[in-house]
Amino acid sequence: MANPFKSTAESLKGMGITLKNFFSKPVTVQYPEQVRNLPARVRGRHVLHRYDNGLERCIACMLCSGTCPADAIYIEPAENDPGKPNSPGERFAKVFQVDMLRCIFCGYCQAACPTGAITLENNTALATYTRTSMLYNKQDLLEPVGTATRGAALAWEPTPPPEAKPLIPDFKGVFDGWETTAAAVGRGNLPLEVKEPGAPKPLRKAAPVVPPGDATPKALPGSTIQPADEEGQS
């Protein structure tokens, strides 16, 4: 038989906890009339960023799309018009779409991006009534013209957790490499180094022209692996 004194003591103890919390301030927030301040590192809806000079940071390298475990990012790259480029690289994202129904908000795309072009911001109000409105296109994601922020990248920079890769550091000075390389490392804002006054800016290295017959890979010196012949047999 249960000890009646022990049961009463346990009941009083439980009622004491109820009484203690009865007079404390409620923590419930009347959403959506009231909105809580979320931490800066909350992973919500994506934003595509620009450089201060207005160019898009995204160079359509596809790393975010390739690393996405949910296959939620679709990109169609296009060549930049050198006279009126969209981004400082060779390519820009003509189509950039994130399927929020697939996204698991892991942040891998942000971590993979070499230019700081994509971040997950603390906008979590994504509820909607249709599937198609959960497909966010470039015009929904890209910062408006005249805006250039780093977004949540800054929130991750000061004290990143040990498992996080450092994001794009701020860098002053000139970039002494190729323009496309500057864009690829997120330094599309930097003026390029011009070694002699009046010398043309380096734009991009011309791709080597490979004659069709020479396109077959050659075996490396010392390698025992032979390249496949024309019929695909080794």
User: Which residues of the chain form contacts with ligand SF4 (CB under 6 A)?
Assistant: 58-64, 68-70, 72-73, 75, 93, 98, 103-109, 112-113, 115, 117-118, 120
From the list 197, 220, 179, 174, the residue with the least C-alpha distance to 89 is: 179
CB of 27 to ligand SF4, least distance (A): 29
Q: 3-class DSSP state for residue 138? A: helix
CB-nearer residue toward ligand SF4: 98 or 202: 98
73-79: strand order across its sheet = 73-79, 91-99, 135-136
CB-nearer residue toward ligand SF4: 44 or 177: 44
CB of 79 to ligand SF4, least distance (A): 15
CB of 203 to ligand SF4, least distance (A): 19
CB-nearer residue toward ligand SF4: 167 or 202: 167
User: Quick count: other Cβ atoms within 10 Å of Cβ 119?
Assistant: 24
Residue whose entry in the numeric block shows the structure tokens 């930049």: 80
CB-nearer residue toward ligand SF4: 72 or 182: 72
* b/e sequence 213-226, b meaning 16+ C-beta within 10 Å: eeeeeeeeeeeeee
CB-nearer residue toward ligand SF4: 9 or 41: 41
CB of 44 to ligand SF4, least distance (A): 10
Looking at the DSSP bridge assignments, the partners of residue 97 are 74
CB of 144 to ligand SF4, least distance (A): 17
Helix (H) or strand (E) holding 98: strand 91-99
